[in-house]
Chain A
Amino acid sequence: MKPNLLRAAIAALMLLAGGNAAEAHIVAARLGDFYMGVVHPLTDLGDVVLWTATGVLAGTLGGAKGRWLIPVFPLGLLTGLLLGQMLGAVSTQLADAAMMLALGMLLAAAAQVPTVLLCAMAFVVAMIRGAANGADLAPETDRVLFAAGLACVGYAAITLTMALTAAFRRTTADSPTSWRAIAVRALGGWIAAIGLMMGSLALAS
């Protein structure tokens, strides 16, 4: 039974990790390239997990550190998108997995990350995902509109995730063994595990 469950979980993960940009392209046909930029990252497991991990980590560290990500994260996405356009399509699977593992472990360990390191990590995550999002754009896609949509959704997602996490944690001075802190640390553990599985899949394929 267990191997079957494991196979099913791996198959589901592979399906999600494959990135389903079809929905985003349907959105583009209906609402244009700005909304394609908004929806595109939400249809990819790599974006959802990494953005959530970054936002939750910043949220647990408090508003004073986290608020720097409000401009840094969208800026990173735009930089990545630009680099992706200049350098062409690159596989980001291993980099995604490594960042998931790193962010997940920091969350699980309830580490007090300095602001500079937090900003640097968020910028790298955003840059990798920006490049990944720009990799499969059709030639007729309006790059400026797509970039604007991507930056907007990046700003909204990271700001809301940080605020929700900060509201959930209540205070940053919470004991690391309080049930709220443990819930966030458990989430970090799952994120690290997903990173590990995705890394293994990327190396195996």
Chain B
Amino acid sequence: MSAIRYLRLALLAVTLALAVLMRPSAVSAHEAAMGVLEFREVRPGAFVGRWSIEPSIGASRVDLRVPPHCFLRLPEMNCGTKGLVGPITITNLGSNMSVVLIKVVPIEGEPRSYTISTANPVVSVLGTGAPTLEVWLELARTYVNYGIDHILLGADHLLFVLGLIWIVGGGWRLVKTITAFTIGHSASLAAAAFGLIGVPERPLNACIALSIAFVGVEIVKQQRGEIGLTARYPWIVAFSFGLVHGIGFASALAGLGLERRLLPAALLFFNIGVEIGQLAFVLLVLALIWAHRRLDAVVPRWGEALPAYLIGSVSMFWFFGRLVRVFAVI
């Protein structure tokens, strides 16, 4: 059996495993030391804060930062007429304190909860009333930046996009392929964020790694003169794997404790951020391809297959590492 067949078999196995595991369930938070801090509004803009569950490092060692207009000296916090609106962060999250739940109990309206974690160290509190322009701008700034950060730190997503560019080349085919990837991941990101689909994070990450290995194999096939699935129908491959990668993007939004009324806007801004980051990466890669052509700097014949094998090796390294984590959970 050839290596490609082994890979296809592995892809099928993980997809089947995913299908079995796929159910509407929240991504489980890991159970490292967690703290719960409750802010109860006693008069407009004035809060009393209390640790209902103290983190293991001790409440006094938590470096909590509140919006600049708020004055904090626990147990008191005064945010004046503006109210508790803006970013809250904890700068010293780590292995000893990985998650802190902030509960805000306003005088009027429903209590709200926000989760600050090592993966998402900043949360935006948006107030109880109808969102103002300032709130929308804050939301846009936070989530566009968050989307950009997420794609720039997502080496696996970028490697997949790189593989697609490698196979498809430039021109309209690339525009269509990247658009298909964008549509795919936007659709599944929205579906996952609204709870329509739920996929456990660890098997999903293994599947994302495998999607990159698939692209690596397709590059090798193309170099051998064979016409692979990606070369023939790049938008179908991009759309299909875009669906998988989109659920991965959604895991970044999970556990932020964002209010449901603001979720569509947060999702939109997050996606815009992801697209900005992705577009910047694609433009950089295209610029470098152009530069290499202009300088007539090509990879020597003996090294032509190297990038494809590098992509394949890195992705399989990730795949096995992530697969180990899947079984570690079970």
A residues in contact (CB < 8 Å) with B: 30-32, 35, 63-64, 66-67, 70, 156, 159-160, 162-164, 166-167
Residues on B with C-beta less than 8 A from A160 are 287-288, 291
> Within the complex, what minimum Cβ distance (angstroms) separates B157 from chain A?
15
Is residue B296 within 8 Å, beta carbon to beta carbon, of the partner chain? yes
* Between-chain CB contacts (< 8 Å), 16 pairs: A32-B153, A63-B296, A63-B297, A67-B296, A67-B297, A70-B295, A156-B284, A159-B291, A159-B292, A159-B295, A159-B297, A160-B287, A160-B291, A162-B291, A166-B294, A167-B294
Q: What residues of chain A lie closer than 8 Å to B288, measured between beta carbons? A: 156, 159-160
Q: How far is the CB of A191 from chain B (nearest CB, A)?
A: 21
Closest Cβ–Cβ distance, residue B153 to chain A (whole Å):
6
B292: chain A residues at CB < 8 Å are 159, 163
User: With A30-B149, A31-B152, A31-B153 as given contacts, are A163 and B296 in contact (CB-CB < 8 Å)?
Assistant: no
Expressed in whole angstroms, the minimum distance between the Cβ of A171 and any Cβ of chain B is 12
Main secondary structure of the interface of A (DSSP, over half): helix
Q: In the complex, what's the smallest C-beta–C-beta distance from B21 to chain A, in angstroms? A: 30
Known: A30-B149, A31-B149, A67-B297; 18 extra A-B contacts, CB below 8 A, are: A35-B152, A63-B294, A63-B295, A67-B296, A70-B295, A156-B284, A159-B292, A159-B295, A160-B287, A160-B288, A160-B291, A163-B291, A163-B292, A163-B294, A163-B295, A164-B291, A166-B294, A167-B294
Closest 5 CB pairs of A and B: A163-B291, A63-B295, A67-B297, A163-B294, A63-B296
With A156-B284, A160-B287 known to touch, is A166 a contact of B295 (CB < 8 Å)?
A: yes
Q: Which residues of B contact A35 (CB under 8 A)?
A: 152
Given contacts A156-B288, A159-B288, contact A66 B149 (CB under 8 A): no
Cα separation A30 to B295 with both chains bound (whole Å): 35
For B152, the closest partner residue in chain A by CB is A31
Q: Which chain B residues lie closer than 8 Å to A63 at the CB level?
A: 294-297
Inter-subunit contact B287/A70 (CB<8 Å): no
Q: B71 near A: Cβ within 8 Å?
A: no
Cβ-closest chain B residue relative to A70: B297
Q: List the A side residues contacting B149 at CB < 8 Å.
A: 30-31
Once bound together, how far apart are the Cα atoms of A166 and B290, in whole Å? 12
Hey, which chain A residues are within 8 Å of B291, CB to CB? 159-160, 162-164
Instruction: Tell me if B295 and A162 are in contact (CB < 8 A).
Output: yes
**Which of chain A's residues have a CB closer than 8 A to the CB of B284?**
156
CA distance A66 to B292 in the complex (A): 11
User: Residues 267-304 of chain B: 1 if any A CB is under 8 Å from the residue's CB, otherwise 0?
Assistant: 00000000000000000100110111011110000000
Report how far A63 CA is from B297 CA in the complex, Å: 7
Give the docked Cα–Cα distance between A31 and B290 (Å).
28
How far is A70 from B295 in the complex, measured between Cα atoms in Å?
10
Question: Which residues of chain B from 101 to 154 have any CB-CB distance to chain A below 8 Å in the complex?
Answer: 149, 152-153
Complex Cα–Cα for A161 and B281 (A): 18
- Closest CB in chain A relative to B229 CB, distance in Å: 30
| Bound form: Cα–Cα A164–B295 in Å | 10
Which residue in chain B gives the minimum CB-CB distance to A30? Answer: B149
In the complex the two chains form, what is the Cα distance from A63 to B293 in whole Å?
A: 9
In angstroms, Cα B284 to Cα A159, docked, is 12
The residues of B that contact A64 with a CB separation of less than 8 Å are: 296
Smallest distance from the beta carbon of A54 to chain B beta carbons, Å? 14
Cα–Cα distance between A30 and B288 once the two chains are bound (Å): 26
Q: CA separation between A167 and B284, bound complex, in Å?
A: 17
A88: shortest Cβ distance to chain B, in Å?
30
A63 to B288, CA, bound (A): 14
List the B residue with the shortest CB-CB distance to A29: B91
When chains A and B are docked, how far (Å) is the Cα of A67 from the Cα of B153? 30
Query: What is the minimal beta-carbon distance from B277 to any residue of chain A, in angstroms?
Result: 11
Interface residues of B in 8-47 (CB under 8 A from A): none
Complex CA–CA separation, A66 to B297 (angstroms): 9
Q: Whole-angstrom distance between the alpha carbons of A67 and B287 in the complex?
A: 16
Residue with the greatest number of chain B CB neighbours at <10 A, chosen from A32, A63, A66, A166: A63
Question: How distant is the Cα of A32 from the Cα of B152 in the complex, in angstroms?
Answer: 10
**Complex formed: what's the CA distance from A7 to B189 in Å?**
55
